[in-house]
């Protein structure tokens, strides 16, 4: 029997690449598949994919959605070239199936797969799919989604969740009775958090007895965030500012509440860990997908949501955080609701479904 071949398009941020790598490992470990990744030179895939031991091909393509007109024109002019490159890669590799996990390369790769009639599957991590996935969602053979709200955009969609590190599923509620807040704006930090949290840190610590705060600022903004905390007059024994947190499951385990953005990976980790959250969607996210993710979690009772504009309302952020941190029973209920949104075994389910789909691609070998 010939070896199964799967082509995975994943690029840009870790939110696309890390789930793609998790599925790839499952395909290799349990199905002995040969894997080829396709991305672009501008994303993190150039570093992460080879480091994980997988082959990578690159094509040139840029963004179309939520960008200036000049950028859209450049991308449109490159589309024929990128589509030709994607078709060439598919013809050379001859995959049994193609999996899109997102990133700029996904549009040309999925279009080429459809043209060549190779079975194709999409992984959609957000409640509101991106432009490329909305355009091809009804034409692909299957989709693995993270939120039921995205189902209407796809053919043969299944709620599988997205891969999350197993450590997040093994966390227990914090044993320390004194509340602890984790402020996490993603690996690069969130500038808006670095501005607004220091402004309220002193009255927040006064309002919540015993509260401690750990704030990931991002390496570029460490000095300004740290200076703002120091200027606040808040007790320095009760707060820490760190540029980067390298063992996120361990820091999640200690937190009674997490304040974060609502990117798909962050939301999936919060659900897996069973952590109540205050979600502040990134206002500039394409198609408002972060807001849609936060709304799903808030409607499920797993999180509270504040829009960025609400942070400028005097007292709003302070009252919201103090109210949550002073309500252990509410936090407990939110934690249970968050865990109910989790999807263990997502990588295995996606890999198995893709293998079933790949049987339709035998004629392309």
Question: In residues, how long is the chain?
Answer: 365
User: Does residue 14 carry a pLDDT above 70?
Assistant: yes
pLDDT in the model for residue 251 = 95
Structure tokens at 13: 């941020």
Nearest Cα neighbor of 105 from 236, 7, 232, 246 is 7
Q: What average pLDDT score do residues 127-132 get? A: 86
Compute the average pLDDT of residues 275-303.
93
Nearest-angstrom CA–CA distance, 120 and 25: 19
Determine the structural domain holding residue 226 and report its residue range: 167-340
Q: 227 and 84 in one domain?
A: no
Task: Sort 236 into a burial class: Cβ within 10 Å, 0-12 / 13-18 / 19+.
Answer: exposed
The answer to which of 64-68, 158-162, 170-174, 216-220 has the lowest mean pLDDT is 64-68
Contact 178, 210 (CB under 8 A): yes
299 in the same domain as 282: yes
Q: Are residues 179 and 159 in the same domain?
A: no
Alpha-carbon Rg for the chain, nearest whole angstrom, is 22
Q: 193 and 94, same structural domain? A: no
- Name every residue whose Cβ is closer than 8 Å to that of residue 320 and which is 6 or more positions away in sequence: 278, 304, 306
Local confidence band at 186 (pLDDT 50, 70, 90 cut-offs): confident
Residue with tokens 């194709």: 120
- What pLDDT, on the 0 to 100 scale, is given for residue 62? 57
Q: What percent of the chain has pLDDT over 70?
A: 92
- Looking at residue 177, its pLDDT comes to 85
- 136 & 171 share domain: no
Per-residue pLDDT tens digits for 90-127: 999 999 999 999 877 888 999 999 999 999 999 999 99
pLDDT band, very low/low/confident/very high, at 189 (cuts 50, 70, 90): confident
Domain identity same for 181 and 323 = yes
Name the residue with higher pLDDT: 217 or 364. 217
HSE-up of residue 178 (Cα within 13 Å, Cβ side): 8
* Residue bearing the bigger pLDDT, 317 or 13: 317
Are residues 158 and 173 located together in one domain of the fold?
no
Quote the mean pLDDT of the chain: 90
**183 and 288 co-located in one domain:** yes
**Same domain, residue pair 210 and 276:** yes
CATH of the domain at 53: 3.40.50.2000
Alpha helices in the chain (DSSP H): 14-31, 45-51, 69-93, 106-115, 131-136, 166-169, 191-207, 222-232, 248-254, 264-273, 289-299, 316-325, 328-340, 346-358
355-364 pLDDT, tens per residue?
A: 999 986 554 4
Label residue 86 left, alpha or beta by phi (over 0 means left) and psi (-120 to 50 means alpha): alpha
Total tally of structural domains belonging to the chain: 2
Phi, psi of 303 (to 5 degrees): -155, 160
pLDDT in tens, 332-344: 999 999 999 999 9
Q: Are residues 157 and 210 in the same domain?
A: no
On whether both 138 and 187 belong to a single domain, the answer is: no
Distances in Å between the Cα of 237 and the Cα atoms of 6, 50, 202, 214, 241 are: 52, 42, 12, 11, 11
Residues β-bridged to residue 58: 39
Do 290 and 212 lie in a common domain? yes
DSSP states of 15-32: HHHHHHHHHHHHHHHHH-
């Amino acid at each position: 029997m010939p070896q199964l071949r799967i082509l995975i398009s994943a690029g840009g941020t870790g939110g696309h690449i890390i789930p793609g790598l998790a599925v790839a490992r499952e395909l290799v470990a349990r199905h002995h598949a040969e894997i080829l990744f396709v991305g672009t030179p501008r994303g993190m895939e150039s570093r992460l994919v080879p480091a994980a031991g997988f082959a990578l091909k690159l094509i040139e393509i840029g963004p179309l959605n939520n960008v200036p007109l000049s950028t859209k024109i450049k991308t449109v002019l490159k589309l024929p070239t990128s589509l030709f490159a994607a078709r060439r890669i598919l013809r050379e590799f001859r995959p049994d199936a193609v999996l899109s996990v997102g990133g700029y390369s996904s549009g040309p790769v999925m279009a080429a797969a459809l043209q060549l009639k190779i079975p194709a599957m999409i992984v959609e991590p957000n409640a509101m799919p991106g432009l490329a996935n909305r355009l091809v969602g009804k034409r692909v053979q299957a989709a693995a989604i993270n939120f039921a709200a995205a189902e209407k955009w796809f053919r043969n969609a299944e709620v599988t969740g997205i891969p999350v590190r197993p450590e997040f599923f093994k966390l227990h509620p914090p044993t320390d009775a004194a509340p602890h807040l984790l402020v996490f704006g993603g690996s690069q930090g969130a500038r808006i958090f670095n501005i607004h949290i220091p402004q309220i840190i002193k009255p927040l610590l006064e309002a919540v007895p015993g509260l401690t705060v750990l704030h990931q600022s991002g390496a570029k903004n460490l000095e300004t965030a740290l200076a703002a905390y120091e200027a606040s007059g808040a007790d320095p024994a009760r707060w820490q500012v760190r540029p980067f947190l390298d063992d996120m499951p361990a820091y999640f385990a200690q937190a009674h509440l997490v304040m974060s953005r609502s990117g798909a990976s962050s939301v999936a980790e919060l659900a897996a860990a069973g952590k109540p959250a205050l979600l502040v969607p990134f206002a500039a996210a394409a198609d408002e997908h972060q807001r849609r993710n936060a709304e799903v979690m808030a409607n499920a009772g797993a999180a509270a949501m504040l829009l960025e504009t609400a942070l400028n309302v005097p007292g709003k952020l302070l009252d919201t955080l103090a109210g949550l941190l002073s309500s252990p029973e509410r936090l407990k209920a939110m934690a249970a609701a968050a865990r109910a949104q989790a999807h263990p075994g997502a990588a295995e389910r996606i890999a198995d479904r893709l293998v079933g789909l790949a049987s339709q691609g035998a004629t392309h070998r």
